[in-house]
Structure 1
Amino acid sequence: MAPKPSHIPEGALEAARAAAIEGGKLALSFFRHGAATSADVSYKDGGSPVTEADLAVDRFLKARLMDLAPHFGWLSEETADDPSRLDRRHVWVVDPIDGTRSFARGDTDWTIALGLVEDGIAVAGFVYAPVQDVMYEALPGGPALRNGAPIRASGHGAIAQARIAGPGPILDAMEAARTPFRRMPRIHSLAYRLVHVADGSVDGALASGKAHDWDLAAAHAIVTAAGAVIETPSGVSPTYNRTSTMHEPIAVAGAALAGDLARLLSAGPIARAAGHKDAIAGL
């Protein structure tokens, strides 16, 4: 087998940033604030929606990004998986519209999520919120940025009074267990939820065990650059470009808080609410 190329073409990441914004503008052409999208809507197996806009943005981003770096792999929610990505050192990992349900009903908390994975690690990411015209980003070795300004996670170190965003069933279970946190409004785009940890507007974020590479990779690069971590109930950080794209439940925060939240997700009713496959009944 030929060696895996290691070169990131000069200017590729800057062009990817521009492509994410252009993809957002394309999605906005189908968006109706407070009303149903003008795009045709269909449903995948399992009932998840996909719109004409998702597919249009996916085609645009794939053409643009693969032209920038033809030797990179490609993984997207809306493209049939090509196992050849597993042989590539670098892989674009894309969700053309993260938060499709929100987009389709006219809510504003959806994003374009575009990440670059190197040897399984998220090394660069762009999470663009088109309605707000807000870009979160991180490049290899650089700081996390929000519209060009450096951002940093809050570093809140304990669950007590921590501002936590996450799926309703998980937060309901935490409240039922009398966990002393501050519940934040639901942010439907998972990538958008995670980058709110990066800018310090929430202290921690949670996701159930249904997230895929394309939901996490772009935001993972950004939250890491902002001084936060992503931790699973197994005590590890997610890696990407594996055969399976699905992940365990995750907690995102500064290291101490993320560890405490990940332990909450590992057992009992909170773990069951998060869909953790190894939840321990009765604990």
Structure 2
Amino acid sequence: MSQAYDLDEDAQLASRLAHQAGELLLKARELTEITGKPLGSLGDAVGQQFLAGSLAALRPYDAVLSEEAADDVARLERSRVWIIDPLDGTREYSEGRADWAIHVALAVDGTAVVGAVALPALGLVLDTAAPPQLPEIPGPLKILVSRSRPPEVATRAAESLGAELVPMGSAGAKTMAVVRGEAHAYVHAGGQYEWDSAAPVAVAQAAGLHVSRLDGSPMIYNQRDTYMPDLVVCRPEIKDRLMAVLRA
């Protein structure tokens, strides 16, 4: 069974759900005395319950792929699949940091066409409903990398381009930092899944950033194997230089 939905309405829904999930996670962290990994687990559960329940009620004919739920391979037969990460940056959330995010995306025929990334600790939601405009970004090149697993390929790129490596948590937080003009690029290698990148990729592309795999191939979603080990997000003016170095 299928149901036709308007993508503009989908985009508004994604933004609203990401915002509301973020508010719930902020409140949960404020009210509980739990700390450390148990707090992260609580955040994952709160986000999953809200987002999964909301999508089941509001988009009952669509499939859902989530980090926090068992994978239903029936999604492979669907054109429309919501891809969610109820809490991207569980460690950062549990440590009381700001660099964590909520991801809500919709992939249609493998392309992430709708996305919303909430940065609750900053009071922000960036989305495809109202795509952000890229600000000017003066100064030396900055490349964002994982706090815990900065990839060697990013280190080589930074050395070649004379760029500074900046560690940050959450794939969503890093991608949105590029959107917001805090850095020129985000380079990742070594392990992610579809829910880590779908919403950030949709927002980044809507804002006019270059997004691809390390080899320049497109990001394709709703695959049987949800593992997507690498990602490049960068400003268009450095795309050619950065991709040439990454491919070398």
From the superposition, tell whether residues 40 and 202 of structure 1 become closer, same or farther in structure 2 (CA, over 3 Å): closer
Say yes or no: does 1:191 pair with 2:187: no
Residue in 2 that maps onto 1:117? 107
2:223 is aligned with 1:242: yes
* CA distance, structure 1, for counterparts of residue 40 and residue 15 of structure 2: 24
Instruction: Name segments (4+ residues, structure 1) moved above 6 Å.
Output: none
Give the superposition deviation at 1:9: 7.6
Deviation of the 1:23 alpha carbon? 0.8
Q: Distance in 2 between matches of 1:50 and 1:144?
A: 30
Structure 1 residue 244, shift from structure 2 partner: 1.1
Q: Shift of the alpha carbon at 1:38? A: 2.1
How far apart, CA to CA, are the structure 2 residues paired with 1:204 and 1:9?
28
Q: Which one of 34, 39, 51 corresponds to residue 38 of structure 1? A: 34
Q: Is this contact kept in 1: 2:127–2:203, CA < 8 A?
A: yes
Structure 1 residues 176, 243: closer, same or farther in 2, change over 3 A? closer
Tell me the matched-pair count. Answer: 246
Measured in 2, the distance between the counterparts of 1:197 and 1:130 equals 17
Q: Cα RMSD between the aligned structures?
A: 3.0
SS of equivalent residue, structure 1 residue 20: helix
What do residues 92-142 of structure 1 show as CA deviations (whole Å, max 9, x unaligned)? 111101001111111111011111111111111111111111111113xxx
Residue equivalent to 1:174: 155
Structure 2 residue aligned with 1:29: 27
User: Is the 8 Å Cα contact of residues 154 and 197 (structure 1) preserved in structure 2?
Assistant: no
Structure 1 partner of 2:209: 228
Corresponding position of 1:152: 134
- Does the CA-based 8 Å contact 1:9-1:68 persist in structure 2? no
Aligned residue for 2:218, secondary structure, equals coil
Residue 159 of structure 2 aligns to a residue in which SS?
coil
> What are the superposed Cα offsets for residues 158-194 of structure 1, whole Å, 9 maximum, x if unpaired?
xx93221113633796269832333253220101111
Structure with greater contact order relative to length (CA < 8 Å, sep ≥ 6): 2
Contact conserved, 1:9 with 1:69, CA < 8 A, in 2? no
Is the CA contact 1:153–1:254 (under 8 Å) kept in the aligned structure 2? no
Amino acid at match of 2:23: K
Post-superposition offset of 1:10: 7.6
Measure the CA separation in 1 of the matches of 2:156 and 2:216: 23
Q: CA 1:61–1:182 in 2, change beyond 3 Å: closer, same or farther?
A: same
Q: Distance in 2 between matches of 1:19 and 1:30?
A: 16
Letter in 1 for 2:71: D
State the one-letter code of the partner of 1:152.
Answer: L
> Residues 1-283 of structure 1: matches in 2 within 5 Å?
5-8=3-6, 11-31=9-29, 38=34, 41=37, 51-139=41-129, 143-145=130-132, 151-152=133-134, 161-167=140-146, 169-170=150-151, 174=155, 178-255=159-236, 257-266=238-247
Letter in 2 for 1:230: V
Distance 1:87 1:26, change over 3 A: same
- Inter-CA distance 130–202: structure 2 relative to 1 (3 Å threshold): same
Q: Which has the higher helix share?
A: 2
1:20/1:182 Cα in 2 relative to 1: closer, same or farther (>3 Å)? same
TM-aligned CA deviation for residue 257 of structure 1: 2.6
* CA positional deviation for 1:63: 0.8
Q: Secondary structure at the match of 2:168?
A: coil
CA distance in 2, matches of 1:120, 1:155: 32
Cα gap change, 1:189/1:73 in structure 2, threshold over 3 Å: closer, same or farther?
same
**Residue in structure 2 matched with residue 281 of structure 1 by the alignment:** none
Q: Distance in 1 between matches of 2:69 and 2:61?
A: 17
Write the letter of the residue equivalent to 1:144: P
Identity among equivalent positions (%) equals: 27
- Map Cα deviations across residues 29-65 of structure 1 (whole Å, 9 max, x no partner): 2326xxx9726836xxxxxx95122012101101101
Unpaired runs of 5+ residues, structure 1, are: 43-48, 146-150, 268-283
